[in-house]
Structures are given as structure tokens and as C-alpha cells.
Amino acid sequence: MVLSRRLPDAAVQLLADVADVVQPPVDRPLGAAELRAAVAGADALVCLLLDRVDDALLDAAGPQLRVVANIAVGYDNVDVEACRRRGVRVTNTPGVLTDATADLTLALLLGITRRVGEGDRLLRAGRSWGWDLDFMLGTGLRGARLGLVGYGAIGQAVARRAAAFGMEVAYAARRPAADGAPPAEHLPLEELLAGSDVVSLHCPLTPQTRHLVDAAALRSMRAGAYLVNTARGPVVDEAALVAALEAGEIRGAALDVFEDEPAVHPGLVGRDDVLLTPHLGSATVQTREAMAVLAARNAAAVLGGQEPPTPVR
Ligand code: DGY
């Protein structure tokens, strides 16, 4: 059993009870070549969303590999088909990061609509300012329309929080939400984009969602609208977003994820109408530990011949 990253003790302990655990040689995420070297001969790999699990890595691991346990809900870093062909189970960590990611989405939504980052920068820069009736006005949320792209667990958790701020919520998704989901209007994507004051992305990255928010989508949004992305960077065409902000096609964007992480499009960095955080959606002590423990339980279950708690199907 190989870990691509050192894990919290609770997760390591759980794994050590069922397997010989090989810790990564260095205390940082591994490069691709380092990971290929590390994984040779492993029967299980517990890995990060930064680790590309493709044919090359699976070849490097060898035919005894039985499970890839990704410590993330998103698994666009894993070639699931290539794993399936080799009989390797893939697991992810849904559920345990829902609240943390929804909380950060609201933090970004509030931050961009109320100009929190901009105000912070103004004070730190020592620029002169004074309270005034029209000083640094933002956009109120009560009665504003929130359009959620994707209405899974995280989208629904955002909907619940947004309702507490008085927002009207709609969503675009392939299927209508199941019973028990917070009430929200199900709309075609085009209608959602055109009618929302804030568009927030909660879909996985797939070939179908790559650049879902492109120049045409941005052009179709309201001029006063904001875009929030806590899903995956490549769902948004960043160059098109910069152009849309430049042209005043939307009012602002709050981004936690980027097309080419850790790089951030230079056109976004200097803009006051953009709020940026470095992929912090699940970044709480409690959530990261829960993710690592769930990944460990998944790996341990497969090695023990049992169905893992959260398999990728
Ligand atoms: C995930 O789990 O996919 C998140 O992006 C991790 O923060």
C-alpha cells in the first residue's frame, strides 16, 4: 500500500492495521516520475487530486494493483476506464467535504458581492478612504437569483445556505433533483445563465463540462452578474472570463479553482472585480482528516475483499 502524501495519523493507523504502508519519500506532493517510482509493486494507492492516474502510472504500478483511493470527491485526475480495464477499483471521498465546500462557496459569494477582498486591499495599501453614502457599494443578496450549475450534494448544500440569505435558487442539471433536495427551479443551462444574478458551479469536470462557461456562456449572462467557481478550473475558459470582465459583460468573479493550477491566469490577478482563493474548498482540519480517513477505509475495504464505502461507479 503506497501513500502519495503523508496522511493524518488516524488514516495511517487504519491502513497500518490491514497492510504494510509505504509512506512517500518526501514531505510534499510527488512529481509524476516520483509517483511512478513510488507506486511500483503496490497493491493499493492512496492519492491526491494532483496525482494523474493514467496508463503510464498503472503500468508503473504493475498488475497486482487493486485499488486507487483518491482523497477528493472529484476524480478527473483518474482515468477510470483505464483502471476498470485492469480490474482496479477507484474510490473517492463524497459527503465528508460537502459542508466545507458549501461554506467556502458562500464565503466567496459574499466576498465578491460585498467587495471584501477589494476593501481589504485598499486598507492594506494605505489608500485614503472615508465612509460615504456611495462608497464601495456592493450587491445585496435578498431576492437575488442564484443559479447553480450542478445540483448534487454540494450544490444542494449551497442552496440551503443561500436560502438563509434570502436568495431565490434555481439549478441546471441533467436530471431533476430527487425528493428531499431543497426546493429550487430546474432550468435549462441557457435560461439559468441568462436569468441569474450569481452563477455558481458545482459540476464535475468531464469532457462535457470542460469550458462549459466559455465566451458565449459569459456573454449570455446578466451584465450585473457574478460567477463563482469552487468546482474545477477547466469548467471555465479563463481567457474568455478575463475578456468578459474586461468588456463589462459580467460584474465579477470569485474563483477557488483554476484551469492550470497552481498557475492563475495573469489577467485575473490584478483585477478588483475578481476574488481569488487557492483551492481551499475542503481545506478545514476536520474535513481533510475525514477525507483521508474515508480514503483509507475505501482502500482497506478493497484489500479486505469488501465493497468500499464510496466507490466510483
Ligand atoms: C475535491 O474533493 O474534489 C476538492 O476539490 C478537494 O478540495
pLDDT tens digits for range 136-181: 999 999 999 999 999 999 999 999 999 999 999 999 999 999 999 9
Q: What are phi and psi of 119, to 5 degrees?
A: -65, -40
User: Which residues of the chain form beta strands (DSSP E)?
Assistant: 2-3, 44-47, 67-70, 89-91, 145-149, 168-172, 185-186, 198-201, 226-229, 252-255, 274-276
- Indicate which residue's Cα is closest to atom 3 of ligand 1: 74
Give the pLDDT of residue 127: 98
Nearest to 233 by CA among 26, 47, 77: 77
Q: Where are the domains of the chain?
A: 2-96+284-303, 98-276
**Fold classification of 2-96+284-303 (topology level):** Rossmann fold (3.40.50)
The end-to-end CA distance of the chain, in Å, is 22
Within a 13 Å sphere around the CA of 166, how many CA atoms are in the beta-carbon half?
A: 5
Can you tell me the distance from the alpha carbon of 267 to that of 145, in angstroms, rounded to the nearest whole number?
Answer: 27
Closest ligand 1 atom to 257 CA? 5
250 CB-contact burial (10 Å; exposed 0-12 / middle 13-18 / buried 19+):
buried
CATH, domain range 98-276: 3.40.50.720
- In the sheet that 44-47 helps form, which strands lie side by side, from edge to edge? 2-3, 44-47, 67-70, 89-91
Classified as helix, coil or strand, 3 is: strand
Based on the residue annotation, tell me whether 142 is a catalytic residue of this protein. Answer: no
As for ligand 1, residues whose beta carbon falls within 6 Å of it are 49, 72-74, 97, 279, 281-282
Catalytic residue among 232, 265, 288, 297: 232
Can you tell me the distance from the alpha carbon of 23 to that of 232, in angstroms, rounded to the nearest whole number?
Answer: 28
Q: Where is 267: in which H helix or E strand?
A: helix 266-269
Instruction: Report the pLDDT averaged over residues 248-266.
Output: 98
- Indicate which residue's Cα is closest to atom 1 of ligand 1: 72
Please determine whether the domains at 2-96+284-303 and 98-276 fall in the same fold group of CATH: yes
150 CB-contact burial (10 Å; exposed 0-12 / middle 13-18 / buried 19+):
buried
pLDDT tens digits for range 59-110: 999 999 999 999 999 999 999 999 999 999 999 999 999 999 999 999 999 9
Instruction: Using a cut of 0.85, tell me whether the model's pTM lies above it.
Output: yes
- Indicate which residue's Cα is closest to atom 7 of ligand 1: 282
Closest ligand 1 atom to 97 CA? 2
**Residue 56 CB coordination number (10 Å):** 15
